[in-house]
Structure formats: structure tokens, C-alpha cells
């Protein structure tokens, strides 16, 4: 049977604007007839994937998501620098081969990039003249370390032998991979659906457990050299939006699918689970952090393991929590009571549980990581 790991978290953010809508305001959602502040799953996953936690725990097993791989391949051809050095910003790397001319570099770069997605059409200049053929693909593509290494090897071989990549060379670029971020969060390659990856981790949008409003902050900035001799006003005036709240976050992990996506590598799957838990508990989205300094750790985590069909406990907060004296305590109680009632009518949803409660000092992140990965 499939083994699921479910994480239920409560995280309190002070005034912040972690995840903005098209107007620059904190994202919202209506739930239970009340407006809530929302942080999208995309924002959360991006923050976790790019975090130092993933850097340390999954070194060598993280992919690169970009539209610009063709541009970087072209640059490798024209400079002779290894593709990996260019992607890592290592300008001082030693050239791996003699640079190619622009015509072949662009033509071969486009051929390789097109394997992973349809290329954008060339734009016309201000004078109506057609610009050089685009090297950029239309949609973001997630490249695994194995695929990047294969592209780098093909670039070096083509440049050294002065021969264009063959169809067989291009087909060989897709590889069975061990990119943990792709295994967890999936990828979709319209150009070659055979190499799509179904996400082993589902992340819900985080929402406040209580009704919340977006507020406006009018601010001014002072010109340091304005001594008030003539103009005593501010050097700049502006307005920004923010919100604060206690958020419920739900994550569901299909452990068996994660292992399958990682080519059966159990040790890497465990490292992925540990990194995911630590990142979800300690990493905040980066939006407006310099303005608000709103980094936060989870105040409460409930982890569940079992083979039954998973379920979110968001229904616990369908009616907004309104306890002004102890919002966190009331929310924890609401969550645990809802879980108990669900178990009463449906039977146990899991075989084992582990909890961390920073309000009471119960449990540790280390113990929960052990629970989740074993």
C-alpha cells in the first residue's frame, strides 16, 4: 500500500506581504464567508526549493528551472566555457574547448534547446527588421542535473568535433534522473510528455485561520541632505499594503511515488523528506522581507503517517477562529478536535502521529524529522 505522510502546520506571520497579487497587495481568499490572507503553494515551493536547507540537504540533486537554457548553451559555444560554469556564474572557469562562430553556436544552441520546449518566435526590431532567431523556449522547463551534464557533454563534443548534434544525440538528452525537487514537485514537458514527472508532494495554499484584512501603509522617506532650509517635506512618499495572520498549511507526500521518482534511491528519498520538513517549518517566502522582516518558524506541526486516503484538516477553520486572548492555542485545539472527530466517524486516517508544539515546548524538529523519514 502507498504510504502517505501528511503535515499540518500553523505559522504566524506579523505584518508582511509575502505573496503579492497583480496589484501588489497580499493575496486573499474567501473561505467560510470570510476573507482570509493567502500564500500560494507556488510561492511556498519556490522558497523551499531555493533555500539553504535544500542547498545543504540535497546538494547535487536539485534541478534548474529556466526558459534561458538555450541562451546559456549558446554562450558556452561562443566562449568555450563549460555549461555548468556558466549556470553557476563561474566566470573564471577554464575553457573546455575552442569557441565556435556565432552562426553555428546559435543554430546548434537552438537545436538543443528545442528538445525541451518550443522556441519563442523571433521579434522584430523598431525598424521592422527581423531579429536573430530566439534561443529562449516559451515555457519554463525544469532540467535535472543529469540532463544538464548530458547537454554539457554534447556541447563540448559538438564544438570539439565541429559537428552538429544529430537527432540521436538530441534524443539522448532526456535522462532518468535523481533531481529531488523535480521528484517532489513534478514537471511538465509539453515537447516530450514521456519525461513528465508526477509530483510526489502536494502543497495547499496557506490561509489564515481567522478573518483578516489587507491594510494600507502610507510611508515617507527623508532626504539625508535636506536640512529644512527651504523644503521641510519628505523626499519621497509612497504606499504599500500588508497583512498579518496565523496561517494553516497542509502538505501531503506520497512516499512511494517519491522513491519511484528518485529511481528507487531510498536514502535520497529520506534526505528529500527531511529537507522538505525542515524547509516547510523554517523557511518563509521572500516577498517584501527587507521591508517587513517577517520570517517565521512553524508554531505547531502535526505529522501523520499511514496508507489510507489522505485528507486536509482545513475544515477546522471553515468558521474563523475569533479567540483574541490565545489565537494560537485555540487554533491548535480546533485542529486537534477536528482530527479526533474525523477519526471517530471515518476511523483512523493514519497509523502513527508526531507533534511539535512551540507554545508548550512539546516535541522537537529533530524528533519529527526522524519520524517522517523512517
Are 53 and 70 found together in one domain?
Answer: no
Query: What is the span of the domain harbouring residue 345?
Result: 4-61+200-224+238-373
Q: Report if residue 194 sits inside a domain.
A: no
Provide the pairing of β-strand 201-203 with 141-143. unpaired
Cβ pair 159, 119 in contact under 8 A: no
Q: Report if residue 190 sits inside a domain.
A: no
Are 278 and 341 found together in one domain?
Answer: yes
Are 293 and 154 found together in one domain?
Answer: no
CB-based burial label for 358 (10 Å; 0-12, 13-18, 19+): middle
Report the predicted TM-score, pTM, of the whole model to 2 decimal places: 0.92
Are 145 and 80 found together in one domain?
Answer: yes
State the 10-residue block means of pLDDT for the chain, 374 residues long: 90 96 95 97 97 96 96 97 95 93 96 93 71 89 96 97 96 91 93 88 98 92 82 83 97 97 97 98 95 96 96 98 96 98 96 97 97 94
Q: Report if residue 232 sits inside a domain.
A: no
Are 161 and 289 found together in one domain?
Answer: no
Q: Into how many domains does the chain fold?
A: 2
From the CB of residue 111, how many other CB atoms can be counted at a distance below 10 Å? 19
Query: Given this model, what pLDDT does residue 134 score?
Result: 92
Query: Given this model, what pLDDT does residue 368 score?
Result: 97
Q: Report if residue 231 sits inside a domain.
A: no
Query: Given this model, what pLDDT does residue 1 score?
Result: 53
Cβ pair 306, 288 in contact under 8 A: no
Are 45 and 129 found together in one domain?
Answer: no
Are 204 and 334 found together in one domain?
Answer: yes
Q: Report if residue 229 sits inside a domain.
A: no
What does the block give as the cell for 252? 501531503
Beta bridge partners of 303: 7, 354
Q: Report if residue 261 sits inside a domain.
A: yes
Query: Given this model, what pLDDT does residue 258 score?
Result: 97
Are 220 and 171 found together in one domain?
Answer: no
Are 274 and 308 found together in one domain?
Answer: yes
Residue whose entry in the numeric block shows the C-alpha cell 523551499? 48
Are 117 and 134 found together in one domain?
Answer: yes
Cβ pair 239, 331 in contact under 8 A: no
Q: Report if residue 230 sits inside a domain.
A: no
Q: Report if residue 352 sits inside a domain.
A: yes
Are 96 and 166 found together in one domain?
Answer: yes
From the CB of residue 308, how many other CB atoms can be counted at a distance below 10 Å? 15
Are 257 and 149 found together in one domain?
Answer: no
Q: What angle do CA 226, 231, 236 make, to 5 degrees?
A: 70
- Residue 330 CB contacts under 8 Å (≥ 6 apart), including other chains: 321, 323
How far does Cα 189 stand from its chain's mean position? Answer: 18
Amino acid at each position: 500500500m502507498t504510504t502517505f505522510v501528511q503535515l499540518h502546520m500553523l505559522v504566524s506571520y506579523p505584518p508582511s506581504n509575502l505573496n503579492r497579487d497583480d496589484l501588489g497587495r497580499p493575496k486573499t481568499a474567501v473561505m467560510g464567508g470570510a476573507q482570509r490572507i493567502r500564500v500560494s503553494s507556488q510561492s511556498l515551493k519556490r522558497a523551499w526549493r531555493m533555500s539553504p536547507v535544500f542547498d545543504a540537504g540535497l546538494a547535487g540533486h536539485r534541478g534548474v528551472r529556466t526558459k534561458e537554457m538555450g541562451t546559456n548553451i549558446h554562450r558556452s559555444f561562443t566562449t568555450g566555457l563549460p555549461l555548468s560554469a556558466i549556470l553557476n556564474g563561474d566566470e573564471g572557469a577554464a575553457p573546455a574547448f575552442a569557441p565556435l562562430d556565432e552562426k553555428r553556436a546559435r543554430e546548434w544552441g537552438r537545436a538543443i534547446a528545442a528538445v525541451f520546449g518550443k522556441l519563442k518566435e523571433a521579434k522584430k526590431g523598431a525598424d521592422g527588421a527581423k531579429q536573430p532567431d530566439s534561443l529562449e523556449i516559451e515555457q519554463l522547463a525544469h532540467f535535472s542535473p543529469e540532463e544538464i551534464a548530458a547537454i554539457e557533454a554534447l556541447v563540448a563534443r559538438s564544438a570539439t568535433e565541429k559537428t552538429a548534434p544529430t537527432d540521436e544525440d538530441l534524443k539522448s538528452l532526456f535522462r532518468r534522473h535523481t533531481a529531488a525537487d523535480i521528484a517532489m514537485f513534478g514537471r511538465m514537458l509539453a515537447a516530450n510528455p514521456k519525461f513528465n514527472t508526477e509530483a510526489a508532494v502536494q502543497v495547499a495554499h496557506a490561509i489564515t485561520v481567522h478573518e483578516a484584512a489587507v491594510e494600507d501603509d502610507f510611508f515617507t522617506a527623508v532626504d539625508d541632505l535636506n536640512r529644512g532650509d527651504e523644503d521641510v517635506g519628505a523626499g519621497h512618499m509612497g504606499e504599500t499594503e500588508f497583512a498579518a495572520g496565523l496561517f494553516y498549511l497542509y502538505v501531503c507526500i506520497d512516499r512511494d511515488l517519491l522513491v519511484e521518482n528518485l529511481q528507487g534511491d531510498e536514502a535520497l528519498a529520506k534526505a528529500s523528506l527531511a529537507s522538505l520538513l525542515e524547509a516547510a517549518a523554517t523557511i518563509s517566502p521572500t516577498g517584501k522581507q527587507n521591508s517587513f522582516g517577517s520570517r517565521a518558524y512553524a508554531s505547531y506541526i502535526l505529522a501523520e503517517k499511514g496508507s489510507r486516503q489522505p485528507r486536509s484538516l482545513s475544515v477546522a477553520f471553515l468558521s474563523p477562529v475569533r479567540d483574541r486572548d490565545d489565537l494560537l492555542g485555540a487554533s491548535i485545539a480546533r485542529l486537534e478536535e477536528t482530527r479526533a472527530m474525523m477519526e471517530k466517524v471515518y476511523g483512523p486516517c493514519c497509523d502513527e502521529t508526531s507533534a511539535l508544539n512551540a507554545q508548550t515546548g512539546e516535541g522537537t524538529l529533530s524528533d519529527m524529522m526522524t519520524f517522517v523519514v523512517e
